[in-house]
């Protein structure tokens, strides 16, 4: 793909055009950062969530499959070390290094002593160079942030915050159990601690307009966020959202509309923000809709084709905005 001179100049940092990309994907980031292939190893450490156990709410997010990982469903969870050893088998010898990804539910929702033991076990494994911790904005007390910041002095650490939308109206509807203000406070608390922040958002949430989605993107562009995971909304069997879908109560956007909105979001994000994900995957056995979400490669191709059609790229419409300028929902 020929790179226009103007785009080369605009995207001098980072130069993802070297890899014929129109966005800064995770693979390119790993290569730039470590000079080798890096893979995440998914870990289920047995946590739950405060909006499941009653501390904040019950029932969990309306889209969330409450069964946890397949490991959890199959019986007693293997140790963190065993899960890492098993995960490595899928990648070696192609992978050089690994990041332990504590993924299932809220992975800071425990006493700090328990967290330290689990994280230490992961980092003690050969070729594990860091941690990626999936959590909620309301589950990051100072002692947990201090623990993670301590690891960041020696290891590569990501904190993955579930947000889904910057709209408090949407957060209430999907039963997140926290507000956007709590998310912003968490980002502020994590800032300046040598921790990388990755934010999860969902495109296609019930009641959200295109403008709502773009406002979420603009909001994240204005915050000290290092990465983003963009998910398509999935209606899963056994979830509240799944029941709504069966009743015809919620529409699902088309693949073409999803690709267009993802392209819009990418244009608004800073070019140095790492795009860790562009669509949801998995859940084939319980996916009710949309059917197009079953084919991840097809969705990624649709996004890339839409970017090419526009001659668009990550950051081309990025602008600095202050949180005080964001409209009320």
Query: What three-state secondary structure class fits 104?
Result: coil
Q: What is the pLDDT of residues 110-163, one digit of tens each?
A: 999 999 999 999 999 999 999 999 999 999 999 999 999 999 999 999 999 999
Residue 72 — pLDDT band, cuts 50, 70, 90?
low
Strands 287-289 and 235-236, bridge-based pairing: antiparallel
Return the percentage of the chain with pLDDT > 70, whole number: 88
H or E element that contains 26: helix 26-34
**pLDDT over threshold 60, residue 325:** no
Sign of CA dihedral 200, 204, 207, 213: positive
Domains of the chain from N-terminus onward: 5-317 (3.20.20.70)
Higher pLDDT, 214 or 13: 214
Q: What is the pTM of this model?
A: 0.91
Query: Which phi and psi (to 5°) does residue 38 adopt?
Result: -130, 140
The packing angle between helices 112-123 and 142-152, to 10°, is: 20
Task: Note the pLDDT of residue 18.
Answer: 62
Task: Note the pLDDT of residue 318.
Answer: 87
**pLDDT over threshold 60, residue 239:** yes
Task: Note the pLDDT of residue 70.
Answer: 61
> Shortest CA distance to 314 belongs to which of 281, 278, 287?
278
b/e 65-88 (16+ beta carbons within 10 angstroms → b):
beebbebeeeeebeebeebbeebb
Question: Which of 10-14, 63-67, 311-315 shows the lowest per-residue confidence on average (mean pLDDT)?
Answer: 10-14
Mean pLDDT for the stretch of residues 62-90: 83
Q: Specify the residue for token string 């995957």.
A: 281
């Amino acid at each position: 793909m020929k790179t226009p001179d103007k785009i080369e100049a605009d995207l001098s940092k980072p130069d993802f055009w070297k890899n014929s990309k129109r966005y800064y994907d995770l693979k390119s980031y790993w290569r730039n950062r470590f000079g080798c292939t890096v893979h995440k190893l998914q870990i289920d450490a047995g946590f739950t969530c405060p909006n499941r156990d009653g501390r904040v709410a019950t029932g969990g997010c309306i889209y969330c499959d409450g069964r946890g990982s397949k490991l959890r469903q199959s019986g007693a969870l293997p140790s963190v070390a065993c899960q890492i050893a098993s995960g490595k088998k899928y990648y070696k010898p192609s992978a050089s290094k690994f990041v332990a990804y504590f993924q299932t539910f809220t992975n800071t929702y425990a006493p700090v002593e328990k967290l330290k033991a689990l994280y230490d076990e992961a980092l003690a494994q050969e070729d594990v160079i860091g941690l990626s911790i999936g959590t909620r904005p309301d589950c990051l007390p100072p002692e947990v942030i201090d623990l993670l910041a301590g690891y960041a002095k020696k290891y590569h650490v990501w904190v993955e915050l579930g947000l889904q939308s910057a709209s408090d109206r949407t957060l209430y509807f999907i039963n997140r159990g926290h507000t956007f203000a709590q998310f912003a406070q968490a980002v502020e608390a994590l800032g300046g601690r040598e921790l990388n922040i990755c934010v999860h958002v969902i495109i296609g949430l019930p009641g959200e307009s295109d403008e709502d989605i773009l406002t979420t993107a603009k909001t994240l562009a204005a915050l000290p966020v290092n990465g983003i995971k963009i998910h398509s909304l999935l209606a899963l069997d056994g979830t509240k959202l799944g029941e709504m879908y069966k009743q015809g109560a919620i529409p699902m956007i088309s693949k073409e509309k999803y690709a267009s909105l993802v392209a819009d979001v990418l244009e608004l994000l800073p070019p140095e923000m790492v795009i860790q994900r562009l669509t949801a995957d998995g859940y084939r056995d319980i996916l009710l809709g949309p059917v197009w979400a079953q084919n991840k490669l097809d969705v990624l191709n649709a996004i890339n084709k839409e970017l090419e059609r526009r001659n668009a790229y990550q950051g081309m419409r990025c602008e600095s905005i202050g949180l005080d300028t964001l409209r009320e929902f």
